[in-house]
A and B are shown apart, each in its own frame.
Chain A
């Protein structure tokens, strides 16, 4: 979980440089360890602030295509360094770091983030959005374009996003809310997946888990062919469904409306559950454990509870003058 609130405040920021940039330049940040926070402003310039010790320095190198920001340690092993970078909203951002928590707020271009141990939080993004972690969790909100989110040992949350979406993890849950897509591929091995979004005609939606439940919100009016497959799990629905073959409850096809969208829901050991969009989604494994632990110990609630679903989808901010990336 990323703590937005506390920013390292030593007496004075040790690097604070602002560089003018030409439209179309991309920001590239290379970091060994430490947090990276990216915010936006109206200027065609990039401001780099960094907290570090005097054995470290920040390399800011403007080039033709990109502005490269790199944390350097003069001697000894690499040390962590926290960055706060303010960029123009149009700027594409690439961040690469081993143990960096990354937080982007209000960005409006391509976003590429790759980290090993960091959590990634992005609000914004337009174009190609690729977020990768290994041990960290990923949350993406209010983005549009081609979205690819991958982690290994933690969860993914995506909300208020439009465009093609691929979300994958191995040991974590995936929560997808208010998604507007015609192409979805969500998969995990150990974890639940919950999807709530538009099911568009002729769209393709694939949701797969091995140990965990798949929960999908289906509106009343929808044109979709649902292929439900579970090997050891069960199927349930909060509203009546008419199965062609009532004896086969673990592998069946269900046609709704004209059946134009293709929806594939697979859970090997877990179950498949259908609900209506206004019904709350089931808790993820972690949320359930936290709740149980809280009940047992009477302890204070776990930090960073998931954002509650809002009543109506919030429109995504769109600094890009050419909307309609799909």
Chain B
């Protein structure tokens, strides 16, 4: 199979003097991109880990950075690079959860489904830490908790990202928090 890697200087308007690593990486400088990677990987990896699962986090983190490299030409520099990167990461994660239907939970107002799935029997009486606690949430509720309470997105933004209404986002968030309070074994 042909292995031609094509690099094209697309029309980019990146503010010069700011984020010079971004400008360099957009022109194909892999070392500059590595510096960007190191600066942002922890945050991106955490996001992937919490939104999906610890198992997939490494692979998805790599996918996210590869996609970032591919799309750097489209970054206009009109917002902070970290915001742009974060939004791209969320998109990749959401695309991925769509593909893996086995792990996919539909966001639903079905109360019994959530209640039944949430509680891990072995941990009812233990205070567990946050990372472990969220693993037991159903995927739909977990995503919204992570996006809202960890990452700071507003309900309106979450609604757009996940194709739901703000109302559903608020209800899911509330349910996630209610389930979490049992998991965390709050006094």
B67 close to chain A: CB less than 8 A: no
A117 in contact with B99 (CB, 8 Å): yes
B168 in contact with A6 (CB, 8 Å): no
Taken together as a complex, chains A and B put the C-alpha atoms of A207 and B138 apart, in Å, by: 42
A6 in contact with B108 (CB, 8 Å): yes
B102 close to chain A: CB less than 8 A: yes
How many contacts between A and B, using CB within 8 angstroms? Answer: 51
* Chain B 94-117: CB-based contact to A (< 8 A → 1; otherwise 0): 010011011011111110010000
Chain A, interface size: which category? 20 to 34
B32 close to chain A: CB less than 8 A: no
**Interface segment, A8-16, A36-44, A261-269?**
A8-16
Residue of B nearest to A52 (CB): B163
A101 in contact with B163 (CB, 8 Å): no
Taken together as a complex, chains A and B put the C-alpha atoms of A251 and B77 apart, in Å, by: 65
B70 close to chain A: CB less than 8 A: no
* Chain A 93-129: CB-based contact to B (< 8 A → 1; otherwise 0): 0000001010000000000000001010000000000
B101 in contact with A6 (CB, 8 Å): no
Given A10-B167, A53-B159, A53-B160, residue A135 in contact with residue B99 (CB < 8 A): yes
Interface residues of A in 128-172 (CB under 8 A from B): 135
A6 in contact with B106 (CB, 8 Å): yes
A-binding residues in B (CB < 8 A): 95, 98-99, 101-102, 104-110, 113, 159-160, 163-165, 167-168
Cross-chain pairs A/B with CB under 8 angstroms, 29 sampled: A1-B101, A1-B102, A3-B104, A6-B106, A6-B108, A6-B110, A7-B106, A8-B106, A8-B107, A8-B108, A8-B164, A9-B109, A10-B164, A10-B165, A10-B167, A10-B168, A33-B98, A34-B163, A52-B163, A53-B163, A55-B160, A76-B160, A79-B160, A79-B163, A80-B163, A99-B95, A99-B98, A117-B99, A303-B102
